[in-house]
Amino acid sequence: MKRNEILYDFEPGDSVLNQAPFTDDEARYDLVHGIASDPSSLRLKAGDHRLLFVRTPGRNGWLWIDSSLNQKERERRMLALMQETDRRGIRLGGVHGKPETVVFFAEHYAQSHGLDYRSNMELESYVCREVRPPSGVEGNTRIVLPDDADVVGRGSRGAGFFGQSVLLGSERRACRDGQHGSGFSEISPNQ
């Protein structure tokens, strides 16, 4: 196995989370930072930092792979991840990431463990690199503050946080606490 396919543990706050190529996709994988900061989480990275996997015990993992890798390199790294979780005795119930990544991983994981898999959800996140104020609208733009939680909560009524439909009170708490979720696809092995 090549050094770049070997997975290493990393600590909360590791520089891998704050450098390219991960930061190029960071908005789509914003939950990785929170999961990686949990001392009980599993945190794995490839030797060249072009694969990251994080998982809190009992939850689905998040898998990021540098999109500039060719298909064969991505597949080898995903298979190395599967071998590493097996070696550690970790049974995965699902994984979040880009659809093409998690479908490949789930197919191979399910096949090697005698399981089935299914895709549960697909979301898309976007990055706004430049804010363009609307024209012809009175008022000022400013940073949202914790005191704005009620307004933001009312504006997000009907939306879900972490896959759960929420009531106004929990929307306020989520806004106040800065909680939000994003991802692409979840593939869960069925038993």
Domain boundaries, the chain: 3-125+185-190, 146-177
Most confident of 21-25, 175-179, 180-184: 21-25
Q: Are 8 and 47 in contact (CB under 8 A)?
A: yes
- The backbone torsions φ and ψ at residue 136, rounded to the nearest 5 degrees and listed phi first, read 75, 15
Tell whether the model's pLDDT for residue 78 goes beyond 80: yes
Q: What was the pLDDT predicted at 53?
A: 97
Place of tokens 């290493």: 8
- Give me the helices (H) in 2-98, please: 31-37, 71-87
Question: Tokens 């549960």 correspond to what residue?
Answer: 120
pLDDT in tens, 37-75: 999 999 999 999 999 999 999 899 999 999 999 999 999
Selected residue with higher pLDDT from 144 and 34:
34
Fold of the 3-125+185-190 domain? Aminopeptidase (3.40.630)
Q: What gap in Å lies between CA 172 and CA 146, rounded to an integer?
A: 10
Surface-to-core class of residue 76, CB atoms within 10 Å of its CB (0-12 exposed, 13-18 middle, 19+ buried): middle
Burial of 152 (0-12, 13-18, 19+ CB in 10 A): middle
Q: Per residue in 3-27, pLDDT tens?
A: 777 999 999 989 999 999 999 888 8
* Nearest Cα residue to 50 out of 122, 99, 2: 2
pLDDT classification of 132: cutoffs 50, 70, 90: confident
